[in-house]
Amino acid sequence: MSITSLALGNVRHKKRSTNLNVMLAKALGQALGLVACLAFPTWVWAQTGNISNTATDAQVEALLRQMTIEEKIGQMTQITMGVFVDNTKKEMVLKPEGLRKAILEYKVGSILNNAQDHAQTVQEWHTIIKTIQDIATKEGRLKVPVLYGVDAIHGATYISNSVLFPQQLGIGCARNRTFAQQMGRITAASTRASGVRWNFAPVLDVARSPLWSRFPETFGESTYLVRELGVANIVAAQGGNVANPTSVAACMKHFLGYSATNSGKDRTTASLSERDMRETFLPPFRAAVRAGAKTVMINSGDLNGIPVHANKRILTDLLRTELGFEGLAVTDWEDIVKLNTRHKVAPTLKEAVLMAIEAGVDMSMVPYDYNFCILMAELVKEGKITETRLDLSVRRILKLKYELGLMTNAYPEPVAMPNLYPKEAEAISLNAAREALVLLKNDNNTLPIPTGKKVLVVGPTADHLPSLHGSWSYTWQGTDVSQYPTSTKSILAAMRLKFGAQNVSYLQGADLKDKEKNTSVELLKAAQTADYMVVCLGEDGYAEIPGNINDLNLPMVQTNLVRTLAETKKPIVLVLAEGRPRVFSAVEPMVKSVVFAPQPGTMGGVAIAELLAGDLNPSGRLSFSYPKHPNDLLTHDARIADVMPESNNLSAPGQVAQYQPLYPFGAGMSYSTFAYGEVKLSKTSLKAADDSVLITVKVTNKSTRAAKHALDLMVSDVYASVIPAYRLHKGFIKQDLMPGETKDYVFTLRAEDLSVVNIENKTVVEPGEFRVFVADKEVRLDVIR
């Protein structure tokens, strides 16, 4: 099936039944020692709570036979909690009459979101869940509980005083699968303790445009990295059995091509060839399906002019038939309505509902009214949607409710309460933040700053918590400072503790609304007594459309702070607290050191202070390419023709690839130095089918301090039937190295890792020569038939 035809095909169709069977994935088991299995995540492929349990199937069918058309439609309906709260009150006041209307009159089967657009106490969450489930299970005809879902993206977003982890982009920079697992596990356990059992995470979109407002929610621009970390997160969150009081149903999102937006704006058109779709964007979802992801959320934008919510060939033929996904597919916010109001493919809301259901949507995140219920009932009465089609979706929804244990106990579980605030959460968040930070420049070993030196801290992100957290941080946008725990430390607060308040002075310099807060005279005067200047620039919190920008450059009011302070000739350390790579090339030569802080979360300020003081030896590596210019946005996996120099010969003297970001994918420095041995292959050729090769390189820590060190494995096809990529990321390993210690880094490269989507749009492994890169070393590998 051609994905070009998937994208361009007729969005209307006659329903045809499809036998949806997921082939049980063969458990590969935990890879031992240092061997990194590259074909699929090395530590799991067993399904987590497979959807084929016979006893549960029988229960679902028995319940389904009892349901009326209206009850089935209600199960497919999701309403936001804000509809049921008295917004005139400062405290949380529920409106039980509104809930009864939803659950008893319209039979609504799912509710989402927090009550007041900010974090709630666990007592408030329990009140919400108990009130909802009392109505559903005690007053409803069939006693079917409500399925509640939230966006807990990098921690328990909407639980007061929760510990938040680095955004997914930071987890990608950490190059550590363990953090993806721990974030998934702790977030799931805390969310479950609140009474919520469905989490709309993780994001499996592959970052492409650094303009995109959801860039920080991705694990980065590497398909391999997104796949590995995404699956790690899902398996940990679901815990092998989603009925467990520490687990939730995960949601892989946003299917498909959401991050490939042409404009860089959220919820807009992505123009993608089938080859790009299959090579870059599909693999993380394919892996997540094989790992047992329970639910999927749909791309809010359009693919080649066809809204994905109305594209049956994407949502049914690709997702269900080809990938074998059996779980629940939910829309994003109001996206069926937008087929009519935004995308203009449906002349009426009723036609929009028909399009989406025919395409393969199971549940509509409506989210404000009951028009979906009313119009669905009309469409069934008119014979345009069959009851058999309703059963297909409702079966999936009821199945999930049974699997989550809702049908047995729909209420908050006392046994889950000890997991609300896990004791280890803060320490794990700190370690994740430490490894997420990326040292990008350190001329003359300017960092670390010696003890006792006077430091002037300047900049709009120095004392601003949202810059360290980003979206989904106690509120949707993450910008309400009043919602942050009082114990959370800004960069400035952490530096005062680390260096001593008497050694740290501060001027804001400018704010994040492009306003100057101090004159150049004031800045220069404050700098007179400083030995070092730490300039903290970057972004406020943001999410989705409110985070759209028109210019990737850092605002001039921020870069002017560097220009002014550079007049002093004193060393400037630049800390970039941001969620996407804002361009600062004009002032980069003026600073001695650059630290990238990818929204590192609750403990981010502490980690940054540790790095600046030298208590932390940095180990992060960029999970994306940091551009030098706003119009030069090539990624590491660009087609080689796009990076070829004018001579068309990368081997010629003085010729370099035209992939020239300010900092490339994988960039990242340490306070230690390392020596690399030759790259050794266990064999020089491998067969195109079912073969693998071990790739080993010895790494020595040449410094006198302990370090963590990450290595990436990159490959490139010398010749292929289609233009090969400049580099493809195919592995990463991170290890601890004591002073003087040498360790082997051993990668396993499988033949299928070298596959290409050929001219016929088939994924194949072609014989030929490949270049293999580890650190600054290169070897050649032959693939034979």
> Hey, which residues are catalytic here?
332
Residue 784, φ and ψ in degrees, nearest 5: -120, 165
- DSSP count for the chain of H helices, then E strands: 22, 28
Q: Hey, is 126 helix, strand or coil?
A: helix
Helix (H, G, I), strand (E, B) or coil at 498: helix
Is the bond preceding residue 254 a cis peptide, omega within 30 degrees?
yes
The number of CA neighbours under 13 Å toward the Cβ of 715 is 25
- Token pair in block for residue 294: 């329970």
Residue owning tokens 């960069």: 491
Quote the CA–CA distance of 241 and 231 in Å, as a whole number: 15
**Which residues does residue 457 pair with via DSSP β-bridges, in sequence order?**
506, 534
Token reading at 650: 């990368």
Structure tokens at 51: 């959807």
Full DSSP string of 167-189: PHHHHHHHT-HHHHHHHHHHHHH
Query: What's the token pair of residue 221?
Result: 């621009």
Q: What whole-number distance in Å separates Cα of residue 753 and Cα of residue 712?
A: 14
Alpha-carbon distance of 301 to 253, in angstroms, equals 13
Q: Which residues contact 624 (CB under 8 A, 6 or more apart)?
A: 169, 172, 207, 210, 215, 220, 221, 581, 635, 665
CA distance 622 to 668: 6
Contact present, 270 and 258 (Cβ < 8 Å) = yes
Q: Which two tokens stand for residue 46?
A: 């067993």
251 touches 296 (CB < 8 A): yes
User: What residues contact residue 40 under an 8 Å CB cut-off, 6+ apart?
Assistant: 28, 231, 287, 290
> Helix 177-193 to helix 425-436 angle, to the nearest 10 degrees?
140
First to last CA, the chain: 26
Q: What does the longest C-alpha to C-alpha distance in the chain come to?
A: 80
> Any residues with CB less than 8 A from the CB of 302 and at least 6 apart, and which?
268, 269, 270, 308, 343
Q: Packing angle between helix 223-238 and helix 177-193, nearest 10 degrees?
A: 40
Record the tokens describing residue 213, joined without a space. 């407002």
Query: Which region, left, alpha or beta, applies to residue 305 given φ > 0 means left and ψ of -120 to 50 means alpha?
Result: left
Radius of gyration of the chain (CA): 26
CB under 8 Å to 134, separation ≥6 — which residues?
none
Q: 3-class DSSP state for residue 455? A: strand
Other CB atoms within 10 Å distance of the CB of residue 479: 22
